[in-house]
C-alpha cells in the first residue's frame, strides 16, 4: 500500500464541486484560475525555507503541486504547460548561517491546457503583500464557482452576485488520512486521498513546469495510466 499525503485545502468541497461540474451546473468548463499567495511582501533577509531548497523541495515550487492536485480532482490532468517565474533573491542564509544560492521562483505564472479542453492559469507568489484571499475560480459557459478554503460560492447567468452553495454534511470529506492508510493495509477500503499514481501525475506536471522555465517553451505532459503503479 502506498499513499501520498494529500492536499487538504478543498476536502470539504471536493465532492460537491465535482458533482456540479458533472451535472453541468455552470455549463461547459472553459477556464480555471488559481491564485495562491503568501500575502506578504518580499523579505530579502529572511532565512532559506525548505520550499527554497531544491535538495528538499525538488521541482515543486511554492504550493504549485498541492494546488494542481486539487484541480485534478475536479477536472483531470493538464496536457501542456507554459511557465514564467522570477527569483528576486538568489542568495539566502540556511539553518547553519551559511549563505547559499537558490533559484526557485518567488513569483510564478503557469498557463496550462487541460485534457478536458479548459484553459488554466496558476499564480503562485511569495511576495504579494495585501493580496486577496487564496482561491480557485472555475469559469463555465453558464456560470462560475469560487472555492475559498472550505467555502464554495456559485453564480449562474442572470444572478446579481455569488452566493454560498450549501454542502451536505455527508459530502464533506474530513482528514482521515492515517485511518484510510491503515484501512487500506487491512483491506477494508481503498486509498482515495491520494494514490501513488496521483503523486506521479502532479510531479509530471511540476517537472514540465520546471522544464518550461528553463527553456521558455511550452511543454507537453505524457499521460499517466489510470491504474496505480
pLDDT of 226: 64
pLDDT of 228: 45
pTM of the model: 0.90
Q: If you ran DSSP here, which 8-state letter would residue 166 be given?
A: P
Q: Look at the alpha carbons of 69, 72, 77, 80 in this order and tell me if their dihedral is positive or negative.
A: negative
pLDDT of 229: 39
CA separation for the pair 29, 73 (Å, rounded): 14
Which of these, 31, 21, 57, lies nearest to 111 by C-alpha position? 31
Is-contact 59 97, C-beta < 8 A? no
pLDDT of 83: 97
Is-contact 122 83, C-beta < 8 A? no
**At what angle are helices 64-75 and 196-215 packed, to 10 degrees?**
120
CA separation for the pair 147, 57 (Å, rounded): 26
Angle at 25 between CA 23 and CA 30, to 5 degrees: 100
Is-contact 59 209, C-beta < 8 A? yes
Q: How far is CA 139 from CA 75, 116, 143, 226, in A?
A: 12, 13, 6, 26
32: helix, strand or coil: strand
13: helix, strand or coil: coil
Q: Phi and psi at residue 140, in whole multiples of 5°?
A: -115, 175
- Per the document, the length of the chain is 229
pLDDT in tens for each of the 229 residues of the chain? 888 888 888 999 999 999 999 999 999 999 999 999 877 888 899 998 888 888 888 888 988 999 999 999 999 999 999 999 999 999 999 988 899 999 999 999 999 999 999 999 999 998 888 888 899 999 999 999 999 988 999 999 999 999 999 999 999 988 999 999 999 999 999 988 888 888 889 899 999 999 999 999 999 998 777 654 3
- From the centroid of its chain, how far is CA 218? 19
Q: Give the number of other Cβ atoms within 10 Å of residue 56's Cβ.
A: 11
Is-contact 145 48, C-beta < 8 A? no
Q: Which residues contact 119 (CB under 8 A, 6 or more apart)?
A: 30, 31, 32, 111, 112, 113
Is-contact 214 59, C-beta < 8 A? no
Q: Give the number of other Cβ atoms within 10 Å of residue 52's Cβ.
A: 23
pLDDT of 174: 87
pLDDT of 26: 96
Amino acid at each position: 500500500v502506498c499513499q501520498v499525503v494529500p492536499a487538504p485545502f478543498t476536502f470539504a468541497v471536493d465532492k460537491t464541486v465535482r458533482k456540479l461540474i458533472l451535472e453541468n451546473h455552470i455549463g461547459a468548463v472553459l477556464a480555471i484560475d488559481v491564485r495562491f499567495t503568501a500575502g506578504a511582501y518580499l523579505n530579502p533577509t529572511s532565512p532559506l525555507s525548505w520550499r527554497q531548497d531544491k535538495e528538499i523541495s525538488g521541482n515543486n515550487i511554492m504550493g504549485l503541486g498541492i494546488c494542481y492536485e486539487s484541480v485534478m480532482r475536479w477536472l483531470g490532468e493538464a496536457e501542456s504547460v507554459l511557465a514564467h517565474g522570477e527569483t528576486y533573491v538568489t542568495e539566502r542564509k540556511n539553518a547553519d548561517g551559511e549563505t547559499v544560492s537558490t533559484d526557485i521562483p518567488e513569483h510564478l505564472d503557469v498557463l496550462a491546457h487541460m485534457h478536458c479542453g479548459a484553459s488554466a492559469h496558476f499564480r503562485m507568489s511569495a511576495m504579494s503583500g495585501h493580496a486577496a484571499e487564496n482561491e480557485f475560480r472555475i469559469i463555465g459557459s453558464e456560470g462560475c464557482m469560487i472555492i475559498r478554503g472550505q467555502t464554495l460560492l456559485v453564480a449562474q447567468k442572470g444572478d446579481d452576485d455569488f452566493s454560498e452553495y450549501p454542502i451536505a454534511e455527508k459530502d464533506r470529506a474530513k482528514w482521515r488520512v492515517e485511518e484510510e492508510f491503515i484501512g487500506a493495509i487491512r483491506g477494508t477500503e481503498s486509498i482515495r486521498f491520494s494514490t501513488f499514481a496521483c503523486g506521479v501525475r502532479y510531479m509530471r506536471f511540476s517537472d514540465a513546469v520546471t522544464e518550461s522555465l528553463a527553456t521558455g517553451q511550452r511543454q507537453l505532459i505524457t499521460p499517466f495510466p489510470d491504474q496505480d503503479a
